[in-house]
Structure 1
Amino acid sequence: MCDDDNLSNYRSTVDLPSESDIVIIGSGYAGTSCAYYLYKNADLTKNPLKITMIEARETCSGATGRNGGHLKPDIYYSYKRYSNKYGQQIAETLMEFEAKQIDAMSKLVSEENIECDWTVTRACDAYIEPEIAAEAKASYEQRCADGGNVSDIHEIPPDDYLSMTRVKNVLYGETFTGASIHPYKLVHHLLNKCVEKGMNLQTNTCVSSATRLPSGEWSIVTSRGTLKASKVIFATNAYTAGIVPLLNGKIVPIPGTVCRIIPSINYMLSPLEMTYSIRSNGHNFDYMIPRQVGDRSIILGGAKRTYMYNRKIFYNNCDDSMEFINEKSKMYLEEFMPKHFHNWGNDQNGCKQMWTGILGFTSDLLPFVGELPDQSNGYVIAGFNGQGMPRILLCARALVDLVLGRIDKIEELIPEPYIITKNRLETKENYLLDRIATQSDLTHSS
């Protein structure tokens, strides 16, 4: 993680404001993107906005500041499941929406001249177990058969598995456009701009409740007092259910482990240039980002298969103070590169840092975005299932248009299954637990 920035413990005013036009709860990627677009898209000359951002801890200290910055869209892997559930057209929309995030981020970084290690490259999915390899291939072929836009997806020829991926024992592989970024640097750059434009940032201020009043306003109770807001945006990802009871059981905190690896001499001399997902069984995969600047260190996240068989460890766990989840996850990450990458070598560099972060998982593995049902002027952008980097930016832009009244229906701008609705909240399905239960049994027995 980065050294403290001058905004880490920043408070624009000594006291918490008593009222605000718009309150944003959460200072991560989602909340910051919303703030940025509020200032960018609102007509502030006619109607100056008083915006307050509240953060429970330090700025960007949650999942955004702890993840690897892997902007890797899902453009085929989930297609078949989406198509079976929502139909071909919506499934295609879901694929295209994530793919569009890369261009959107490129434009943002360029327009705002943000120094955040933004790198566009190829992403590689390498499958190392037969069942998941077959599922992935079938999903890709289904999108092809349905006439989807697969022009950017390249199947790796079997004879080239090792030479192209440098991963041992690959059974199936795909490459497509991906990217990486330093999320902490991105967020702090955008937050500085928002503070300069007048946003009131209040860190180390925990929200205990948010209640819609009969007047239509919201009352937000914090550890430092209460403020009223005309509108409130909940950008609290894994922690949203704690202040929005409507989402209890619908967004669940789940910990993940990340580490920084110094490459071996062999890989220093011939660095990895793609980003990776090394996929084993089902929801258990590891992502890897070889940095293309600086020390060329590798950010590796995952090790889920070492602890997801134990629901007490991972499910509804908000503790991100741990260095790693358990000893098995520590060993898994330490052994990962020599185990999976050809000719890694016997260097003693390896893992130099480990840390944990809390992901917000939803019962259908899709985020909740939009206005809360029957609670007008309350908006949510949360539950990104560890896939926030290729989803959040355009979700935030769309949500802000809804908040500002620039659009009437958010489904004009984001995939319909993302929208928070009564039906989604009332459904009893829990794809997350069903899938994890199956894969956990396999993992625990292996």
Structure 2
Amino acid sequence: MSKDIHPVDNYCRSYWMSNPDKLANYRSTVDLPLHSDIVIIGSGYSGSACAYYLYKYGQSNKNPLMITMVEARETCSGATGRNGGHLKPDVYYSYKRYSEKYGRKIAESLMQFEAKHIQAMSALISEENIQCDWEVTRSCDAYINLELAEEAKASFQQRCADGADVDDIHEIPSDDLLAITKVKNVVYGITFTAASIHPYKLIHHLLNKCIEQGMNLQTNTSVLNATRLPSGQWSIVTSRGTIHTSKVIFATNAYTAGILPLFNNKIVPVRGTICRILPSLRYQQSPLKMTYSIRIKESQFDYMIARQTGDRSIILGGAKPAHHSETKIWYNNWDDSIEFINEKSKNYFEEFMPKYFDGWGTDDGGCQEFWTGILGFSSDLLPFVGELPDQSNGYIIAGFLGHGMSRILLCARALVDVILGRMKNIEELIPEPYVITRSRLATKENCILKHMGVHVGPIETDERTA
């Protein structure tokens, strides 16, 4: 693994970033503060949610918090500003695998934790009056592959047999599959509550609120090194100077190992690609109402949200069949300067809707934008959250596998409760397998390539391949 993991300067722009917020390149002060109570590295969902809860629960008139957020590029230009805008909890798909690895109780806690994010996000948006195109809807997993469908059904049935409350999860009757999903050749379908959102608007609303309460935001400021000093404080060396802080939160996701070497091989940057499509005339007149995962093969699915606002454009991500065999172009690759991974992935997206959706037609507006994003894949396929072992006052919230929208909010709230001393044990607030431990860091296990459907020998990935 290369240790030179850092955000590139010449990044492409996503659809969400097309109308930059006033905070895009904002600096609260001309100079970098020399000292801070808390430094948050990263201005995406994790960092912004942590900042929001720190002010919500830790701010007081007598002892105002001095929080500095540093961002290597413009605000929310990493994975959060490039994702699918899809808050889709895993409520059955991984249950069997989790149960076999962790046991029924923990497997159920992992399912419930993600499902709780729908209500938690709804409450946040309502309380703060956030205008971010939030839409609670149903999500549909449509299976094209019969063998994969049987595995998914077995996982759902096991959760049912284990006594879980699955009233929200509906299997689509076989006779209604095409009518309900509108997906060609679908052999199995299942729906449950999910949501869509404009992630960029969400984050900028939270950050504006934090700045109003005194947070110092410093964009275009790369962190080069973070070291815990013998005094217990942390030294944060940046491209514009050094900050000393009592506590630091690494909300750095895919770029974590570039700052904290102990995460080398534990959080790996994985490059993904995504696009925005204008629907055909028929689908403009009868729009899709659900969000989707189209599951084609093992470890290969495409995800999409049909936006219910504006031009009702469709955000589509994935295209793994077009590039997953070319491991070097996506594994341990943090270059998001190009719009799409390769020409095959571009063609895959352009052909996707007429190929899979019934009666799509040939009069669509096509792909309007393509962009790449860098996901942070953890070696055991679960995020790292909590205080760094043997490095007190250093905290991590990273490694979300492109699935952070249904995990981050409550992780951030839990982490803040620990940082502020409101709760001692973070494992009482989040699923136990999320908690960072010495044993998780020590294991040599790396499940990423297998999870992505690559069954090959060791991959040489020290050099990026654009």
TM-score (norm: length of structure 2): 0.93
Which of 344, 362, 375 matches 1:328? 344
| Residue correspondence of structure 1 range 18-417 to structure 2 within 5 A | 18-417=34-433
**Whole-angstrom distance in 1 between the partners of 2:372 and 2:455:** 22
What amino acid does structure 2 have at the position aligned with 1:263? P
Deviations 1:11-69 (A, max 9, x none): 00000000100000000010000000000011422421100000000000011111121
Moved over 6 A (4+): none
- What is the rounded CA distance, in whole Å, between the counterparts of 1:110 and 1:204 in structure 2? 32
Q: Distance in 1 between matches of 2:108 and 2:384?
A: 19
Q: Check whether the contact 2:377–2:401 (CA below 8 A) recurs between aligned residues.
A: yes
SS in 2 for 1:347: coil
Matched residue type, 2:325: Y
Question: Partners in 1 of 2:56 and 2:121 — Cα distance?
Answer: 15
1:30–1:393 contact (8 Å) kept in structure 2: yes
Give 1:436 shift.
2.9
1:144-202 deviation line (CA, Å, top 9, x unaligned): 11111211100011111100000001111100000010000000001000001100000
Instruction: Give, in whole Å, the separation in 2 of the partners of 1:149 and 1:85.
Output: 21
How far did residue 440 of structure 1 move? 7.8
CA distance in 1, matches of 2:72, 2:65: 23
2:148, 2:337 → 1: CA distance? 32
Measured against aligned partners, the alpha-carbon deviations of 1:193-240 in whole angstroms (never above 9, x if no partner) come to 000110000000000110000111000000000110100000011001
Alignment partner of 1:148: what SS?
coil
Tell me how far apart the structure 2 counterparts of residues 82 and 348 of structure 1 sit (CA, whole Å): 41
Instruction: State whether residues 282 and 439 of structure 1, in contact with CA within 8 Å, keep that contact through their aligned partners in structure 2.
Output: no
- Aligned-pair distance for 1:437? 4.8
Alignment CA distance shift 1:439-1:160 (3 Å): farther
Partner secondary structure for residue 389 of structure 1 = helix
Give the partner amino acid of 1:212: R
List alignment gaps of at least 5 residues for structure 2.
Answer: 1-14, 458-466
Q: 1:131: how far off?
A: 2.3
- 1:20–1:50 CA contact under 8 A, matched in 2: yes
2:12 aligned partner? none
Please state how far the C-alpha of 1:429 moved relative to its aligned partner: 1.7
Match of 2:447 in 1: 431
Structure 1 residue 305: Cα displacement: 1.9
SS for the counterpart of 1:334 is helix
Give the structure 1 partner of residue 8 of structure 2.
none
**Aligned pairs, how many?**
441
2 CA distance for matches of 1:350 and 1:276? 19
- Report the equivalent of 2:22: 6
CA contact (8 A) 2:137 2:195 kept: yes
The answer as to whether partners of 1:305 and 1:440 remain within 8 angstroms in 2 is: no
Q: Is the CA contact 2:247–2:394 (under 8 Å) kept in the aligned structure 1?
A: yes
Q: Secondary structure at the match of 2:353?
A: helix
Moved more, 29-38 or 347-356: 347-356
Is the 8 Å Cα contact of residues 278 and 366 (structure 2) preserved in structure 1? yes
Displacement of 1:313 after TM fit? 0.8
d(CA) in 1 for partners of 2:456, 2:93:
20
Q: RMSD across aligned C-alpha pairs, in angstroms?
A: 1.1
Separation in 2 of the partners of 1:315 and 1:220? 28
Verify the 8 A CA contact 2:257 2:267 in the aligned structure 1.
yes
What's the counterpart of residue 444 of structure 1? none
In 1, Cα distance between equivalents of 2:379 and 2:363: 42
Q: Which runs of 5+ in 1 are unaligned?
A: 442-446
Deviation at 1:390, TM superposition (A): 0.4
- In 2, the alpha carbon distance for the partners of 1:14 and 1:156 equals 57
| 1:72-121 alpha-carbon deviations (Å, 9 max, x no partner) | 00000000000000000000000000000000000000000000000000
Partner residue, 2:464:
none
Deviation at 1:430, TM superposition (A): 1.6
SS at 1:386's partner residue? coil
Relative to structure 2, which stretch is displaced further, 428-437 or 57-66?
A: 428-437
Distance 2:62 2:196 in 1: 38
